Amino acid sequence: MIALVALSSATFAQIKDGKYIVDYKTSKVDWRGENLVGGGHDGNVKVSSGNVVVAKGNITSGKVKINMNDMTCTDITDAGTNSKLINHLKAEDFFNTAKFPDAAFEITGSTAKADKNGNTHVVKGKMTIKATTLEMEFPVKVEVRDGNMTVTGDITVDRSKFDVKYPSVGDYAAKNELKMKLDIKAKI
């Protein structure tokens, strides 16, 4: 455990102060939605913009914006079925992307904190989906090399708290938990 804390402190100390601009071409958020009766679907959404601000070697603020209209499904190979699912997820009874085209996470701070899963920090902030904003925090792994920052982590959110209230009944009943895997890359 002491080695993990030392590694976390060493990694954290290497973060150069400044404003890191998110590389929207290589950053992404993978998602997984599961059904109550088993199975589910996987996909991703693209990051459209963002920044991470570091002061005194600490991530202090920033924002990552996600284009909800650039959502894909990666587990359905039939084009028609894939399109049907994506159009349903974009519809009013799910994410209503016509009215709410973006989701975002605003960083309000971070703490260096190593864990057994290889994470180095806990990021705190405000998640906004469908105009609902909730405070949350989650562990991430922050790596910095040659002025490039990579932030990876896993998040589980309760979609119903963001007014994504598709009915959870029948064979296609969806769990409220939506799993997301972050892969955010930024340059100073």
Name the residue ranges covered by the structural domains of the chain: 2-187
Bin 117: left if φ > 0, else alpha if -120 < ψ < 50, else beta: alpha
Burial class, 179, CB count within 10 angstroms (exposed 0-12 / middle 13-18 / buried 19+): middle
For β-strands 148-158 and 40-55, DSSP reports them as unpaired
pLDDT of residue 172: 64
Per-residue model confidence as pLDDT tens digits over 90-116: 999 899 999 999 999 999 999 999 999
141 close to 118: Cβ distance less than 8 angstroms: yes
State phi, psi for 9 to the nearest 5 degrees. -65, -40
**What is the mean predicted confidence (pLDDT) over 166-177?**
72
pLDDT of residue 9: 42
pLDDT over 90 at 171, yes or no: no
Per-residue model confidence as pLDDT tens digits over 136-157: 999 999 999 888 999 999 999 9
119 close to 113: Cβ distance less than 8 angstroms: yes
Q: The domain at 2-187 falls in which architecture?
A: Beta Barrel (2.40)
What do you get for the CA distance between the two ends of the chain, in Å?
31
Q: Which of 38-42, 68-72, 146-150, 170-174 has the highest mean pLDDT?
A: 68-72
Per-residue model confidence as pLDDT tens digits over 13-59: 468 899 999 999 999 999 999 988 878 999 999 999 999 999 887 89
Element (H, E) at 106: strand 102-112
